[in-house]
């Protein structure tokens, strides 16, 4: 039998076996569930070595030149101390020497906490800066943002650089309206998480309620995107069965 036929047939059987859980949790589903988990664990072990340990530990320790790097770089044998520190974490399974596992955990948490401060600013700092949007138009020459391209002899070409810079420097009414909606949504959503003082007054309560509605709309969009992602997986698997596997018999 052709290898392609065997491969596609195994894939189709595995797909049908996994989706049999929609009927009930059968032995067929449990078999393919364990098969999938075993393959995932095996693949993860290979990826941990190839993409993490080999690149970030072995090459640096032995001085093995990576692709596109200086082949004469020295090795740092101090990295040889890392495996014993990591293996100390498995002492958590020992009742007598359980305390040893706390040493690598403390080292990891300390290093991770320091790195996370920098990662936090690199991730959320630009977002905080971008949230400070102007809500007052600086020009009324056009209600909406002019196009930065123009039609020349049937082709779209960029407008002159000085004109494009002038457009980027101004805030047009449509931008101001959009920014105002963004700022109100942001402030109202954040106000929902203010627990330091009691919410009193119609304005504060109204802002809090509006923020709750905005959060619910946002969560609904996230849930909808998650559902569509699941449908995309189903469509891909059904496409595999009907367009690749069943066509083998045609």
Q: What is the value of pTM for the model shown?
A: 0.54
- Domain coordinates of the chain in residue numbers? 1-75, 84-130
pLDDT at res. 42: 94
For residue 72, name the pLDDT band (cuts at 50, 70, 90). low
Q: Which residue has the tokens 């946002």?
A: 218
Of the candidates 169, 192, 190, 171, which has an alpha carbon nearest to the alpha carbon of residue 180?
171
State how far the Cα of 85 lies from the Cα of 100, in Å rounded to an integer: 10
Q: Distance of alpha carbon 49 from its chain centroid, rounded?
A: 22
At 204-234, the pLDDT tens digits run: 888 888 888 988 998 999 999 999 998 998 8
> Region 163-182: what's the mean pLDDT?
87
């Amino acid at each position: 039998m052709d290898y392609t036929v065997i491969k596609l047939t195994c894939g189709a059987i595995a797909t049908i076996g996994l989706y049999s859980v929609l009927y009930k949790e059968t032995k067929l589903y449990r078999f393919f569930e364990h098969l999938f988990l075993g393959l995932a664990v095996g693949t993860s072990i290979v990826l941990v070595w190839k993409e993490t340990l080999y690149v970030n530990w072995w090459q640096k320790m032995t001085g093995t030149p990576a692709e596109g790097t200086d082949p004469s770089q020295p090795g740092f044998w101090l990295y040889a101390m890392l495996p014993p520190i990591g293996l100390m974490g498995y002492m958590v399974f020992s009742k007598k020497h359980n305390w040893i596992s706390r040493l690598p955990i403390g080292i990891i948490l300390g290093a991770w906490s320091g790195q996370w401060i920098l990662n936090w600013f690199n991730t959320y700092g630009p977002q905080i800066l971008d949230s400070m949007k102007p809500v007052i138009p600086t020009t009324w020459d056009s209600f909406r943002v002019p196009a930065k391209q123009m039609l020349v002899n049937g082709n779209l070409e960029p407008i002159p650089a000085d004109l494009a810079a002038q457009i980027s420097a101004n805030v047009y009414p449509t931008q101001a309206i959009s920014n105002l909606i963004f700022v109100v949504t942001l402030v109202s959503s954040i106000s929902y998480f203010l627990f330091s003082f009691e919410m009193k007054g119609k304005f504060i309560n109204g802002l809090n309620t509006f923020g709750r509605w905005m959060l619910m709309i946002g969560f609904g969009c996230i849930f909808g995107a998650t559902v569509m992602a699941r449908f995309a997986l189903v469509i891909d698997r059904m496409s595999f069965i009907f367009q690749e596997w069943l066509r083998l018999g045609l």
